[in-house]
Amino acid sequence: MTDFDMHILGCGSALPTTRHLPSSQIVRLREKLFMIDCGEGTQLQMRRMHIRFNRLNHIFITHAHGDHCFGLPGLISTLGMLGRIGDLVVYGPRDVNDYLTPVLAQFCHHLPYKVVFREVDPFKHALIMEDRSIQVYTIPLKHRIPCCGYLFREKQKEAHIIREMTDFYQVPVRMMKDIKQGADFVTPDGTVVPNARLTRPAVRPKSFAYCSDTAYSEEIIPMIEGVDLLYHEATFGEEDLARSRETYHSTARQAAEIARQAQVKKLVIGHYSARYDDMSQLLSEAREIFPDTLAGNEGMVIPI
């Protein structure tokens, strides 16, 4: 198991089917869990996938359409019954809070913990959350109502000390932190030992972008350029291109075109329309443009 991965809980669209659940994902960075969207059935999928509820502290909602947030009140209630006491932070456009506040007032007014809502501007690409290991940014999307995706960027880790070299140059323990952060070492006789001789570079930081729901929009390309994993909605096939434009959604081919232009490492498609019984058509259309494409499915765990 890698220390940074994405778990698909649901990758269907608005109309319920027996094949797919509404949108929801978990991003795991070591012991931290971040949820993106929370459609109906999310907490049941967490049980099936053995995801620990108590490690979830941040939930990012893209927009106030039911297939992306109808599971949120139930999950919040369950966390209370499980004895949660720490704050739960929910991020999303203002419409999400307009939906959530009266529902929680009616059904969850005796929670043993606090739900903190942090409004995001869905029309701006901005840093909205940061801790010691990760940064989360909004990605403005093109949909029928205010909607944003989310970009997760792992922070650069400190370099690895080469113990044999620091012992050889007798580097004091008190200087190890500075050495890890890039400082050179000056010996007592004034000799400068380059940092590159004392350390090995850390593993390159990884990144994940989640873009659902959205019409085809090249404006997001600079924001997601070069990410290791892109999840982009592919609600329709090319035969339903006109319908995708009416509903402000994307086709599988359009999702692949975004991935190609952004030079991402891997693409995962999802948010499938209920009209498709077989996703192989959508996968084939995407792979014609971007070969390193996966068709998302419930239960998948994809390394980032």
Write the secondary structure of 160-172 as one string of H (helix), E (strand) and C (coil).
EECHHHHHHCCCC
What distance in Å separates the CA atoms of residue 183 and residue 51, rounded to the nearest whole number? 40
Q: What does the pLDDT look like over 79-104, one tens digit per residue?
A: 999 999 999 999 999 999 999 999 99
User: What is residue 251's DSSP assignment?
Assistant: B
Q: Is the pLDDT of residue 1 over 70?
A: no
What distance in Å separates the CA atoms of residue 191 and residue 165, rounded to the nearest whole number? 14
Q: Is the pLDDT of residue 247 over 90?
A: yes
Indicate if the alpha-carbon torsion angle 167, 168, 170, 175 is positive or negative.
Answer: negative
- Residue 292, number of CB atoms within 10 A of its CB: 13
Average pLDDT over residues 252-273: 98
3-state SS assignment for residue 211: strand
Structure confidence at residue 68 (pLDDT): 98
Q: What does the pLDDT look like over 103-128, one tens digit per residue?
A: 999 998 899 999 999 999 999 999 99
What distance in Å separates the CA atoms of residue 197 and residue 147, rounded to the nearest whole number? 48
Tokens describing residue 71: 């599971």
Out of 3.60.15.10, 3.10.450.50, 3.90.320.10, 3.40.50.800, the CATH code matching 4-157+203-303 is: 3.60.15.10
Structure confidence at residue 16 (pLDDT): 83
Q: Is the pLDDT of residue 233 over 90?
A: yes
Q: Is the pLDDT of residue 157 over 90?
A: no
pLDDT bracket for residue 202 (50, 70, 90):
confident
User: Measuring CA to CA, which residue among 60, 83, 82, 84 is closest to residue 72?
Assistant: 60
Q: What does the pLDDT look like over 264-297, one tens digit per residue?
A: 999 999 999 999 999 999 999 999 999 999 999 9
Structure confidence at residue 125 (pLDDT): 98
Indicate if the alpha-carbon torsion angle 210, 84, 298, 11 is positive or negative.
Answer: negative
Residues annotated as catalytic (active site), given as ranges: 67
- Distance (Å) of CA 79 to CA 50, 60, 164, 301: 15, 16, 49, 23
Q: Return residue ranges of the chain for CATH 3.60.15.10.
A: 4-157+203-303
- Residue 141, number of CB atoms within 10 A of its CB: 25
CA angle 241, 242, 246 (to 5 degrees): 115
Structure confidence at residue 32 (pLDDT): 96
For residue 79, the cross-strand partners are none
Q: Is the pLDDT of residue 2 over 80?
A: no
What distance in Å separates the CA atoms of residue 34 and residue 29, rounded to the nearest whole number? 8
- Distance (Å) of CA 158 to CA 84, 199, 227, 289: 33, 10, 21, 37
Query: Is the distance from CB of 261 to CB of 216 less than 8 angstroms?
Result: no
pLDDT bracket for residue 158 (50, 70, 90):
confident
Q: What does the pLDDT look like over 46-56, one tens digit per residue?
A: 999 999 999 99
Q: What does the pLDDT look like over 179-199, one tens digit per residue?
A: 998 999 999 999 999 999 989
Indicate the average pLDDT of the chain.
96
Q: What does the pLDDT look like over 67-81, one tens digit per residue?
A: 999 999 999 999 999
